[in-house]
Amino acid sequence: MSNFSSEVSRRQRLRFWRVVVIVPGVFLILGVVRPLSAKLAHDPPAPVQSSAANPADSSMNSGISGQIVDSATGSPISGDQVIVALEQPDGTGTDTVFTQTSPNAAGNFSFSLLPLNTTFDLVAVAINGSGVTYDATVILGIPSSGIRLGAIPLIEEAGASSGPARIVGTVTAGSASGPSTVRVTISAIQTIGLRGGLSVTADVPQTVTITGSDQRPITIPGGRGTSANIFLRSASDCSASMANVNCGKYVIVVPGGNPSVGFFSAGKISYQQPSAAPAVYSVRANAFVPHGSGGSVCLPSFQSVNADAQGGPLKLSPGETATAQPISFSGCW
């Protein structure tokens, strides 16, 4: 029996040394990883709260999480046509996308490793699996310090059509010496009224009036079918009246209604109901060096329009398509 025990002990030692010598560090790593994986397997993530937002969660150094739900049923909205974006103002005061994601099958999303001691605005847009479009929901002033927002309601669009709206248009670029080759990104801006003198614009940007005349353009991501990153390198998309320029066409898929806006304060969110349709938009175009180096190739580097092809307001209802006036960059090189 003692010989058998000695042999077993010798084999165990050999197996130990094989692990250490052949795969250095695995023994030490397994000592840490196995208990952690076991904990993850048996302790599912805490459910997202469905009522008021929770204050900073000490388990997260920095991060923002929540759940996208239907405002009427409370059911989660998920899929690749649901987009949640965190945004911050750029040098022009327009909120631009810092990062974005799509929620999982339960509608849950999470942003981690965010910059500490800063705030974000959140914008959520959605089209569900049945093709039903929801108006955007915007939440302003969310700290990055481990915030669980809970259930974020999106309101289904009202009206005869349940499909999204579309803005289509043309961008031109030229200079005194001839057509210019540029890369252009397009976004859409929408203005809504808010409680207490607050109103929003969103940058599809949408503009939010916070106090008095203060406004904040907020980017709303375009839905599936959006072609808002275009390359102007020929006259093939130009109409007969567009001479000596390069042209490009765009499509932006947007909600046909106005956003609901929430304000984050002291761990709670207060929402303002959206204004009634139609939704009034403007369109903004930013011009860049063609191959993505990021430098401006036109002066000014961005232009915007807020009228349709007939010169009236750029208005949309669910399912409608509106043609914006052309956006022209003339000071390009």
One domain for residues 37 and 97: no
pLDDT at 65: 96
Q: Do the Cβ atoms of 101 and 111 come closer than 8 Å?
A: yes
Q: Is pLDDT above 90 for 46?
A: no
Compute, in degrees rounded to 10, the torsion defined by CA atoms 310, 135, 125, 226. -20
**288-301 pLDDT, tens per residue?**
887 655 555 799 99
Lowest pLDDT segment from 209-218, 260-269, 286-295: 209-218
Distance of CA 59 to the CA centre of its chain: 25
pLDDT at 22: 37
Q: Which of the four pLDDT bands, split at 50, 70 and 90, describes residue 236?
A: very high
Count of the separate structural domains present in the chain: 3
Point out the domain boundary residue: 125, 154, 183: 154
Task: State what percent of residues in the chain have pLDDT above 70.
Answer: 72
pLDDT at 54: 52
Distance CA 261, CA 196 (A): 12
Mean per-residue pLDDT of the chain: 77
Domain that holds residue 125: 63-154
Closest CA to 202 of 132, 137, 276: 137
Q: What is the mean pLDDT of residues 110-139?
A: 92
One domain for residues 34 and 175: no
**61-71 pLDDT, tens per residue?**
579 999 999 99
One domain for residues 181 and 296: yes
One domain for residues 145 and 188: no
Specify the pTM.
0.73
**296-319 pLDDT, tens per residue?**
579 999 899 999 999 999 999 999
One domain for residues 184 and 278: yes
